[in-house]
Structure 1
Amino acid sequence: MIEWSDVDIAVRDAVREFVDKEVRPHLDELESGDMEPYPIVRKLFATFGIGEMARESLNKRLDRLRAGTESKSGGRGGGMFGDGGSAGMGFVVISELCRVSMGLVTGMGVSLGLTVPTIQSRGTLAQQERWLPDLVTYDKIGAWAITEPDSGSDAFGGMKSYVVRDGEDYILNGQKTFITNGPDADVVVVYAKLDEGDGADKRDRKVLTFVLDRGMEGFVQAKPFRKMGIHSSRTGELFFNNVRLGRDRLLGETEENKSGDGRDSARSSFAAERIGVVSMALGVIEECLRLCTDYAKTRTLWGKEIGQFQLIQLKLANMEVARMNVRNMLFRVIECGQAGTQISLAEASAMKYYCSQAATDVAMEAIQLFGGNGYMTEYRVEQLARDAKSLMIYAGSNEVQITHVAKGLLSQ
Structure 2
Amino acid sequence: MSATTASPDLEPHVGDFFGYETLLPAHEQSKILRLREFLDTEVCPIADEYWAEAKFPAQLIPGLRDLDIVGGAYEGFSDNGDQAYSRLFSGFTSLEMSRVDPSFSTFFGVHAGLSFASIYHCGSPEQRERWLPAMADLRSIGAFALTEPEHGSDIAGGLETSARKVDGGWVLNGKKRWIGNGTFADVVVLWARDVESEEVVGFVVEGGTPGFTATKITGKIALRSVQNADLELVDVFLPDDHRLENARSFKDTANVLRITRGGVAWGSVGLQMGAYETALAYVMQREQFGKPLAGFQLVQDHLATMLSNITLALGMVVRLAQMQDAGIEKDEHAAMAKASASSLMRETVGIAREVMGGNGIVLDHGMVRYFADAEAVYSYEGTREVNQLIVGRAITGTGAFV
Q: What SS does the aligned partner of 1:157 have?
A: helix
Q: Is the 8 A contact 1:55 1:133 kept in 2?
A: no
Is 1:310 the equivalent of 2:329?
A: no
Q: Which residue of 2 aligns with 1:372?
A: 358
Q: Which residue of 1 aligns with 2:63?
A: 43
Residues in 2 aligned to 1:287 and 1:362: alpha-carbon distance in whole angstroms: 10
C-alpha distance 51-336 of structure 1, shift in aligned 2 (>3 A): closer
Q: What SS does the aligned partner of 1:177 have?
A: strand
1:17-37 per-residue CA deviation (whole Å, 9 max, x = no partner) reads 222210122123321347533
Q: 2:295 corresponds to which letter in structure 1?
A: Q
**1:382 Cα deviation (Å)?**
1.2
Residues in 1 aligned to 2:301 and 2:217: alpha-carbon distance in whole angstroms: 40
Q: What SS does the aligned partner of 1:57 have?
A: coil
Deviates most, 164-173 or 213-222: 164-173
C-alpha distance 54-408 of structure 1, shift in aligned 2 (>3 A): closer
**1:393 Cα deviation (Å)?**
0.6
Residues in 1 aligned to 2:327 and 2:77: alpha-carbon distance in whole angstroms: 22
1:60-100 per-residue CA deviation (whole Å, 9 max, x = no partner) reads 9xxx9xxxxxxxxxxxxxxxxx84x5333332222121112
Residues in 2 aligned to 1:376 and 1:298: alpha-carbon distance in whole angstroms: 17
Residues in 2 aligned to 1:357 and 1:100: alpha-carbon distance in whole angstroms: 20
Q: What SS does the aligned partner of 1:226 have?
A: coil
Q: What SS does the aligned partner of 1:152 have?
A: coil
Q: Which residue of 1 aligns with 2:332?
A: 346
Residues in 1 aligned to 2:301 and 2:124: alpha-carbon distance in whole angstroms: 55
Is 1:289 the equivalent of 2:289?
A: no
Q: What SS does the aligned partner of 1:99 have?
A: helix
Residues in 2 aligned to 1:297 and 1:97: alpha-carbon distance in whole angstroms: 24
Q: What SS does the aligned partner of 1:171 have?
A: strand
Q: What SS does the aligned partner of 1:346 have?
A: helix
C-alpha distance 286-9 of structure 1, shift in aligned 2 (>3 A): farther
Q: Is the 8 A contact 1:54 1:137 kept in 2?
A: no
Deviates most, 8-17 or 234-243: 8-17
Match of 1:31 among 38, 51, 59: 51
Is 1:213 the equivalent of 2:216?
A: no
Residues in 1 aligned to 2:363 and 2:382: alpha-carbon distance in whole angstroms: 28
Q: 2:237 corresponds to which letter in structure 1?
A: R
1:286-337 per-residue CA deviation (whole Å, 9 max, x = no partner) reads 2222222222222222223222222111111101111111110122023223
**1:109 Cα deviation (Å)?**
0.9
Residues in 1 aligned to 2:354 and 2:347: alpha-carbon distance in whole angstroms: 11
Residues in 2 aligned to 1:379 and 1:59: alpha-carbon distance in whole angstroms: 38
C-alpha distance 169-287 of structure 1, shift in aligned 2 (>3 A): closer
Q: Is the 8 A contact 1:183 1:224 kept in 2?
A: no
Q: What SS does the aligned partner of 1:245 have?
A: strand
Q: Within 5 A, what are the aligned runs for 1:203-242?
A: 205-242=198-235
Residues in 2 aligned to 1:371 and 1:103: alpha-carbon distance in whole angstroms: 24
Is 1:336 the equivalent of 2:312?
A: no
1:246-305 per-residue CA deviation (whole Å, 9 max, x = no partner) reads 2111111xxxx4xx6330121012212221122212212222222222222222222232
Q: Which residue of 2 aligns with 1:95?
A: 95
Q: Which residue of 2 aligns with 1:327?
A: 314
Match of 1:388 among 340, 362, 374: 374
Q: What SS does the aligned partner of 1:239 have?
A: strand
Match of 2:251 among 241, 264, 278: 264
**1:186 Cα deviation (Å)?**
0.5
Q: Is the 8 A contact 1:115 1:144 kept in 2?
A: yes
The number of aligned residues is 376
Residues in 1 aligned to 2:289 and 2:372: alpha-carbon distance in whole angstroms: 31
Residues in 2 aligned to 1:343 and 1:42: alpha-carbon distance in whole angstroms: 34
Q: 1:89 corresponds to which letter in structure 2?
A: F
Q: Which residue of 2 aligns with 1:106?
A: 106
Tell me the TM-score normalized by structure 2.
0.87
Residues in 1 aligned to 2:37 and 2:184: alpha-carbon distance in whole angstroms: 28
Deviates most, 261-270 or 182-191: 261-270
Structure 1: stretches of 5+ with no match in the other structure = 65-81, 197-203
**1:9 Cα deviation (Å)?**
4.5
Q: 1:21 corresponds to which letter in structure 2?
A: T
1:384-410 per-residue CA deviation (whole Å, 9 max, x = no partner) reads 111111111110111111111111111
Q: Percent identity?
A: 28
Is 1:129 the equivalent of 2:149?
A: no
Residues in 1 aligned to 2:179 and 2:328: alpha-carbon distance in whole angstroms: 27
Residues in 2 aligned to 1:368 and 1:229: alpha-carbon distance in whole angstroms: 18
Q: 1:121 corresponds to which letter in structure 2?
A: H
Q: Which residue of 1 aligns with 2:13?
A: none
Residues in 2 aligned to 1:175 and 1:163: alpha-carbon distance in whole angstroms: 12
Q: Is the 8 A contact 2:70 2:112 kept in 1?
A: no
Q: What SS does the aligned partner of 1:19 have?
A: helix
C-alpha distance 52-403 of structure 1, shift in aligned 2 (>3 A): closer
C-alpha distance 246-49 of structure 1, shift in aligned 2 (>3 A): closer
1:208-242 per-residue CA deviation (whole Å, 9 max, x = no partner) reads 21111111111111124331111221101110000
Q: Is the 8 A contact 1:281 1:355 kept in 2?
A: yes
**1:52 Cα deviation (Å)?**
9.9
Residues in 1 aligned to 2:307 and 2:78: alpha-carbon distance in whole angstroms: 43
**1:176 Cα deviation (Å)?**
0.5
Structure 2: stretches of 5+ with no match in the other structure = 4-19
C-alpha distance 110-34 of structure 1, shift in aligned 2 (>3 A): closer
Q: Is the 8 A contact 1:147 1:178 kept in 2?
A: yes
1:101-122 per-residue CA deviation (whole Å, 9 max, x = no partner) reads 1111111111111111211222
C-alpha distance 342-238 of structure 1, shift in aligned 2 (>3 A): farther
